[in-house]
Amino acid sequence: MKNQITIAAAMVLGCAAAAHGADVTSPGGQITVHADVIDGVPTYSVDYKGKPIVKPSTLGFTLADGPDLMGGFKLTGTETSTFDETWQPVWGENANIRNHYNELLLTMDQPEHYRKMNLRFRVYDDGVGFRYEFPQKDNAMAYFIIKEENTQFAMTGDHTAWWIAGDYDTQEYDWTESRLSEIRPNMIGSISSNLSQTTFSPTGVQTSLQMKTDDGVYLNIHEAALVDYSCMHLNLDDKNMVFTSWLTPDAQGNKGHMQSPCHTPWRTLIISDDARDMLSSNLILNLNEPCKYADTSWIKPVKYVGVWWEMIAGGKQWSYTNDVPSVKLGETDYTKLKPHCNHPANNENVRRYIDFAADNGFDQVLVEGWNEGWEDWFGHSKDKVFDFVTPYPDFDVKALNDYAHSRGVKLMMHHETSGSARNYERHMAQAYKFMEDNGYNSVKSGYVGPILPRGEHHYGQWMVNHYLYAVTEAAKHHIMVNAHEAVRPTGLCRTYPNLIGNESARGTEYEAFAGNKPFHTTVLPFTRLQGGPMDYTPGIFEMDIKKLNPQSQGHCNSTLARQLALYVTMYSPLQMAADLPENYERFADAFQFIRDVAVDWDESRYLEAEPGRYVTAARKAKGTDNWFVGCTASEHGHKSNLSLNFLDPGRKYEAIIYADAPDAHYLTNPQAYVISRKTVTSKSKLKLTVAPGGGYAISIRPIK
Ligand code: NOJ
Ligand code: CA
């Protein structure tokens, strides 16, 4: 990732002896942070367009091993500076990203205990980031243990919020839209694949949290650059509408083990009165550090298919046999066991997928259930069930990789850890070496089930460190990582761009289990996607899951046209076409959009947006003049009136429009779509009607 610094003027305006707080305003002047130490307590507030958007809120920590950091502070100085650079991500929604902010640093002493703690605020045109910093010099806190971070976010009213329940181990929930005063844990509808529903408070929610004030201001709270720290939740005092941070505990109930010099992740506030700005914000990426890898030529966006939906929706098995009640790693000779007939990760079926991928321009084929251990994958021996290098007898690693490579396709590795990070770390070096030796360059990993070491949580500091360790170890072997059930992303893909995807939310797999709420994909871009791309696995063409598996209760709550739109509205450099090849063959004309759509972009525009209602995005494919447009709507449907003014003036294009048919409906008639062609220019306007739970997709290419 090259950094091209266009202007970078550092102006030190403050002085070491300042005794008063200070203001810092965004470059465009619409957002102002006031920060001060009031009666010994660090305090901040935020104004947007001259009105409060965060009321005075206090900052501090309780500690497990010493006096608290909640008061007794003296302000020793303030410094302000300005920063402006434009940088180029390895992959992304835009080829160039501007990082422009004004900064305020508050330095503070806690004289009674000879301690120092600083606060750094960065104020952008699209919001605010701030973090705590603990310098090493002259600071009596060399090591300290956080019992709780007590960062307040005092809201100005009973806003509308899009939220999921607080939980240390899963984010796989349906979203709820309600007033803040109505937040109550809503765990119904979550079949948590992490098997642990650890709600911590009746008014606790996860981030990223999207809100809207009655005055029409959108406010999002999340975090950026979560490294060596526990993931933050928010606990609401619903009498006063004040959120306070609530970190994920470790096995002892502590929340952070710190050694100075160190700092917390950034606490982020994205703010605008135009919902589209929430989606085009780069604040979280900008608050992360530049890329740490010198060579990134091996990192490439991936469009893939997989041996996956057959198990998730079709009721087939990851395991090779039913005969092994419990597996001890390396002690079972599988060739002596009877295979069951339902194991899709077999040579013949994988070849079928390789052919399908090659014939339709996909880069990779994911194969789950290829390796020994699934017979007892989250049972009593899960700490030693997988070694990640031993295939089942019906999966010929060399022959299948050779065949895939001969057809211009790669296989995608799968590492299910079943939550045993300890077992994964034990085997990681040989597992990544095995991948490199066999020509794999990407891995989908997973953390289903309670974490081992016992008592740790998916979102605690220990696991946060594990996920990043996996990413940096994988980089040494030029491997890209897509981790499921991992902590929610916080923009780390800027620094480590081989982190090409995460799940960390309720994905398409739930359409096969119980169905997602029809508004789901109009909320995710405002919430989960703020921190980084999601492996949402769209592209379901057969919504009636009973047709694949008579036992299933699942129904994909979307029209077919909306499934196409998701490749544009759910930005990710990693996109799966999740349905079975035979379902794509049934709807070959609609499948053409998935074949055509890009996975990397030079430019992105959000044309229409409202959380929980609709999202319409237009993106220009990297290195081309082709545009793709997608719109996804809630159960209320939507009417779009699009201006194509993003096209080059004076040029003619052909638009292929994949729209809901007039009688389409996500429940009763999801497969009704109409494909039409039109010549368009930058002056064209398109009127499109979206069905309940529907959407549309458009590909636009210049006419030669
Ligand atoms: C849950 C993941 O989300 C899913 O994609 C995967 O197939 C299973 N775990 C098995 O690893
Ligand atoms: Ca999952």
pLDDT tens readout for residues 405-415: 999 999 999 99
Q: Which of 123-137, 305-319, 376-390 has the lowest mean pLDDT?
A: 376-390
Contact 438, 477 (CB under 8 A): no
Token pair of 685 as six digits: 């306007």
DSSP labels, 387-445: -SS-B-TT--HHHHHHHHHHTT-EEEEEEE-TTBHHHHHHHHHHHHHHHHHHT--EEEE
Cis peptide before 208 (omega within 30 of 0): yes
347-360 and 397-406 are packed helices; what angle lies between their axes, rounded to 10 degrees? 20
**Residue 11 pLDDT class (50, 70, 90 cuts):** very low
Number of Cβ within 10 Å of residue 454's Cβ equals 9
Residue 6 alpha carbon to ligand 2 centre in Å: 42
Question: Is pLDDT above 90 for 191?
Answer: no
How far separated are the first and last CA of the chain, in Å rounded?
34
Token pair of 288 as six digits: 């992360």
Residue 194 alpha carbon to ligand 2 centre in Å: 8
**Ligand 1, CB cutoff 6 Å, lining residues:** 193, 308, 312, 368, 416, 446, 448, 484, 503, 509
pLDDT score of 323: 81
Pocket probe mutation, ligand 1, options 193, 417, 444, 482, max atoms within 8 Å of Cβ: 193
- Residue 663, classed as helix, strand or coil, is coil
pLDDT score of 198: 56
**Residue 564's closest CA among 533, 591, 598?**
591
Among this protein's residues, is 608 annotated catalytic? no
Residue 485 alpha carbon to ligand 2 centre in Å: 5
Question: Is pLDDT above 60 for 550?
Answer: yes
Tell me how far apart the alpha carbons of residues 686 and 350 are, in angstroms, rounded to a whole number. Answer: 42
pLDDT score of 514: 86
Token pair of 441 as six digits: 């360059």
pLDDT score of 14: 36
Residue 534 alpha carbon to ligand 2 centre in Å: 11
Ligand 1: residue whose CA is nearest its atom 3 = 484
Q: Which of 1-10, 343-352, 425-434, 493-502 has the lowest mean pLDDT?
A: 1-10
**Residue 665's closest CA among 520, 541, 559?**
559
Question: Is pLDDT above 80 for 171?
Answer: yes
Contact 460, 249 (CB under 8 A): yes
pLDDT digits (tens, 9 = 90+) for 97-113: 999 999 999 999 999 99
Chain-centroid distance of CA 652 in Å reads 36
**Residue 129 pLDDT class (50, 70, 90 cuts):** very high
Token pair of 675 as six digits: 């494909």
pLDDT score of 376: 87
pLDDT digits (tens, 9 = 90+) for 611-658: 999 999 999 999 999 999 999 999 999 999 999 999 999 999 999 999
* Element containing residue 24 per DSSP (H, E): strand 22-25
**Residue 195 pLDDT class (50, 70, 90 cuts):** very low
Options 93, 509, 511, 608, the catalytic residue: 509
Pocket probe mutation, ligand 1, options 311, 377, 447, 448, max atoms within 8 Å of Cβ: 448
Number of Cβ within 10 Å of residue 202's Cβ equals 13
Contacts of 295 (CB under 8 A, 6+ apart): none
Contact 242, 203 (CB under 8 A): no
**Residue 447's closest CA among 429, 466, 430?**
466
Q: Which of 98-102, 346-350, 402-406, 510-514 has the lowest mean pLDDT?
A: 510-514
pLDDT score of 186: 59
Tell me how far apart the alpha carbons of residues 502 and 522 are, in angstroms, rounded to a whole number. Answer: 18
Atom number, ligand 1, closest to the C-alpha of residue 446: 11
**Residue 6 pLDDT class (50, 70, 90 cuts):** very low
pLDDT score of 193: 46
Ligand 1: residue whose CA is nearest its atom 10 = 416
Alpha helices (H) in 505-587, listed in sequence order? 509-513, 520-523, 560-569, 581-586
**Residue 20 pLDDT class (50, 70, 90 cuts):** confident
- Token pair 């972009």 is found at 601
Question: Is pLDDT above 90 for 314?
Answer: yes
Question: Is pLDDT above 60 for 169?
Answer: yes
Q: Which of 17-26, 167-176, 293-302, 635-644 has the lowest mean pLDDT?
A: 17-26
Which 8-state DSSP code applies to residue 20? S
pLDDT score of 379: 79
Residue 235 alpha carbon to ligand 1 centre in Å: 30
* Element containing residue 307 per DSSP (H, E): strand 302-307
HSE-CB at 676 with a 13 A cutoff on CA atoms is 11
Which 8-state DSSP code applies to residue 519? T
Rg (CA), the chain: 25
**Residue 383's closest CA among 328, 331, 429, 334?**
328
Atom number, ligand 1, closest to the C-alpha of residue 507: 3
Tell me how far apart the alpha carbons of residues 275 and 607 are, in angstroms, rounded to a whole number. Answer: 10
Tell me how far apart the alpha carbons of residues 667 and 544 are, in angstroms, rounded to a whole number. Answer: 9
**Residue 6's closest CA among 91, 99, 89?**
99
Beta bridge partners of 144: 258
* Element containing residue 482 per DSSP (H, E): strand 480-483
| Average pLDDT, rounded, for the chain | 94
pLDDT score of 192: 47
* Mean pLDDT score, 430-453: 97
Number of Cβ within 10 Å of residue 328's Cβ equals 11
Instruction: Find the ligand nearest to 311 CA.
Output: 1
